Amino acid sequence: MLNNELLTFQNSFVEFVFYAILSEKSRSKLEDMLTDTVLRQVFKENQIRKLIVKSKPQQVIIFVSKSKKSFVVKGFQLGRTDYLTGRKKAHLNTIQEILTTKTQEEIEKLY
């Protein structure tokens, strides 16, 4: 996994979603994308990039920007959800619904 100094989070909500909802496969794909030397050169400082880490059975998009020393995860889009940043109560409701209506196996498969 990426060093904690190389990957930071915009807020605790984003960090929670990263570790509680995203599958290990999605997290490792993000790591591969961020450590790819060609892709790293595409990032400009403070510019948010949309990285698609999974497309089937449900699309998982992670929004990432680059600061001076690290990459900052800004938010997620899980399937047809809004851009989840934790700034609205509806974002909390979306994550609560995912955690209460889906089993761990379903979450692992979808996200």
How far apart (Å, rounded) are the C-alpha atoms in residues 84 and 77?
A: 6
- Say if 1 falls within a structural domain: no
In terms of pTM, does the model score above 0.95? no
- Say if 2 falls within a structural domain: no
CATH of the domain at 74: 3.30.2310
* Averaged pLDDT score across all residues of the chain: 88
Q: Is 93 left (phi over 0), alpha (psi -120 to 50) or beta?
A: alpha
* Residue span of the structural domain in which 55 resides: 7-110
| Distance set, CA 9 to CA 32, 62, 63, 79 (Å) | 18, 11, 11, 21
| Distance set, CA 56 to CA 23, 78, 87 (Å) | 13, 11, 27
Q: Read off the pLDDT of residues 2-23 as tens digits, 9 standing for 90 and up.
A: 656 689 999 999 999 999 999 9
- Say if 100 falls within a structural domain: yes
